[in-house]
Amino acid sequence: MEMISRETLHAQLRALGVREGGVLLVHMSYRAVRPVEGGPEGLVEALTEVLGPEGTLAMPSATGDDDAPFDPAATPNRDDLGVVADLFWRMPGVLRSAHFDAVSARGPQAEWIAGGPFVLPPAAPGSAIDRIRQAGGQVLLLGVGHHANTMLHLAELVGGAPYRSDFHYIDASGAEVHYGENDSCCEKFELANAWLKAEGLLREGRVGHAEARLMDAEDLVRIAAAKVRADPLLFLHGAEDGCEECDEARASV
């Protein structure tokens, strides 16, 4: 498979519509993007270079261990977030939020994004995810579908989705704290793709070898929240579909 150069990555990202000086939240599968010049670190730097010195890069950085206190300086990412996101929070100049469902960011807006209040559920208004939206951020999906698009969890809450599944985390004192999270299998988040395309608000292309999709966070939340208001359970599989996670969410209503 052809090695993708740094210059090609720059051209692909710019052609897709990544804004210089903007805020960019990236969800990715490096396996789909590779091979690229410089490996995972080279991909991070290509994203950073296209954003420019006034731009801010952000990635998910949640813990994979709900049974240990979260230490933003030491706790590894959840495995399914991928090798690039786990590399990113460890890189110089990157700030990681103190929330167990953390976001990492580097750039002029990083302190504001990562330094927000502790909110539950984790993607609630006021969260780091919401601050990316408030900052006029874009969401970039590289080789992953909308099931990985954390911004849609914010849209669920803004739209009034009523379901909550039981989750817990361990606080700094070692106590187990339970909370309700708007969670499901997230497969039906893929509905958002057609909604955005119908309004001409989805940019599609390739970055590296991966299929890439770019959208404005504000557009995504506005459109998806309106859909949820009209049909609060539309992101859940039907009872006949045999989805355990969606069944648990529905049972909470």
Stated pTM of the model:
0.97
- Give the model confidence (pLDDT) of 98-136 as tens digits: 999 999 999 999 999 999 999 999 999 999 999 999 999
User: Across all residues in the chain, what is the average pLDDT?
Assistant: 97
Q: Is 178 within a domain?
A: no
- The 3-state secondary structure of 136-177 reads CCEEEEECCCHHHCCHHHHHHHHCCCCCCEEEEEECCCCCEE
In this model, does residue 217 exceed pLDDT 90? yes
Q: Is 41 within a domain?
A: yes
Q: How confident is the model at residue 64 (pLDDT cuts 50, 70, 90)?
A: confident
Q: Is 200 within a domain?
A: yes
Domain count, the chain: 1
- Give the model confidence (pLDDT) of 135-180 as tens digits: 999 999 999 999 999 999 999 999 999 999 999 999 989 999 999 9
Give the range of the structural domain holding residue 101, as residue numbers without chain letter.
Answer: 6-161+187-230
Mean local confidence (pLDDT), 224-236:
99
Q: How confident is the model at residue 72 (pLDDT cuts 50, 70, 90)?
A: very high
Mean local confidence (pLDDT), 41-58:
99
* Nearest CA-CA partner of 165 in 175, 154, 179, 153: 179
Q: Is 197 within a domain?
A: yes
Q: How confident is the model at residue 242 (pLDDT cuts 50, 70, 90)?
A: very high
Q: Which amino acid belongs to residue 184?
A: S
Q: Is 166 within a domain?
A: no
DSSP state letters, 27-49: EE-HHHH-SBTTHHHHHHHHHHH
64-78, 171-185, 200-214: range with highest mean pLDDT: 200-214
pLDDT for the residue numbered 176: 96
Mean local confidence (pLDDT), 191-202:
99
**Rounded to an integer, what distance in angstroms lies between the CA atom of residue 180 and that of residue 69?**
18
Q: Which residue blocks in the chain are alpha helix, DSSP H?
A: 6-16, 30-33, 39-51, 83-88, 110-114, 128-134, 151-158, 191-198, 217-230, 244-251
Q: Is 235 within a domain?
A: no
pLDDT for the residue numbered 196: 99
Q: Is 25 within a domain?
A: yes
Q: Is 106 within a domain?
A: yes
- Give the model confidence (pLDDT) of 76-94 as tens digits: 999 999 999 999 999 999 9
